[in-house]
Structure 1
């Protein structure tokens, strides 16, 4: 009797595991198909972005690309209705581009859905739109809510925006240390604006908070951590600022290049000054 119960239980468990495995494979296949469609739609949209500055927004030559992009994003949602990327990119098509059948209301609804489902790009864009486009609605708190959600996922644009908010004291108490932290993390992800803001603050003599110094030390090599523990200063503010401007320059920022040129000129000037004072009369 006990053996029969054991066999029945074993069969039930095996059947359950088999069902779970099949469901996982089905979900993976569905997600893979959706991502392939998103890649096709994104590729068509990138081609639109490449040429859109050189033609009219409703140029007929763009219509096939916009249609292809919209169709692929819609098919991606059909393949996987839980895919937040498809929702976000489809919302951008409706809100930003002159695609046939575009509807601002549909775009807004898709953007809110994607943000509430946890997509960081959607959260950041929704937060920005709530701050800028709602003149008659007290939406600052809502905007800040979505921006903070994106910051929690280390979205570089959201980090930069939150850093600017802390730096200026707009809607929150002014907090330079928090601003530096935000700029630092955004700069790590290649955000040129954050890198320039961080570098500029360093040149102005703003002290890097201890929490950020310890955070960097923990992520560094054992030798670097030892130096920090000894209390030695690893880099002066000019060298740290230079690194930030290099980040901006690599991201294609002309302002980053200008800052680097300015620092190089300052270094040459100081070297020349030192040489002239050391030369015996």
Structure 2
């Protein structure tokens, strides 16, 4: 097996029959197309299970797809047949969208061997690799969820980071949304960004063919964004999904002391007691 956060389609094809491997189809429709249908019922990688980000979440929160409590997550993983000690490969229908979020969720809940499929299902299908439409049959397994609280930032953590400057805040949204020049796709949110935040649109980390940038390309992208890889970083975005793409890239680069703001702009931009900055300075 591999320790790298990413695995190739060839690697997955070579290991697909491994008894300790489980494949997850991470699903969340884009906020701009909330009614988009999941591909999974009609086509998925053989043996893959379906992880709906909008269902395996904290249903008591008014914010979108917040992390569930550990015992709720354990129950959901058990029903999917995901257990302790397994090697997990996560992919999504778009290449890089919700798969890194599920990767981060599993890692934050204590899973150790979790990877993202580079290029996702589009690359898998483009290479004429096998896919099926029948539901998988997996035996329920025991998953011991142990939340790493340091991996998750909340509203007060962001306020502290802004006031102290001890942590870099890195926003994955587009430069137009970050600057406040474009409207937010979620209704009722203010335009702009958190004071002191830096901006690195997640799209800059993905090649035109849908594969992830190389380590060297990633390092250059973070350098352009003004990120110091030796200092703590908290990632954020619209609702805590594409922020995980930045966290994935930072992990590949060996950065430490990483957190993800789960509420992200869905929380910060909806409140009357949060400070908003605009422009690019």
TM range (shorter): under 0.3
Which of the pair has more CA radius of gyration? 1
- Please give the TM-score of this superposition, normalised by the length of structure 2: 0.24
- Please give the TM-score of this superposition, normalised by the length of structure 1: 0.24
Higher relative contact order (CA 8 A, sep 6+): 2
Name whichever structure is richer in helix by fraction: 1
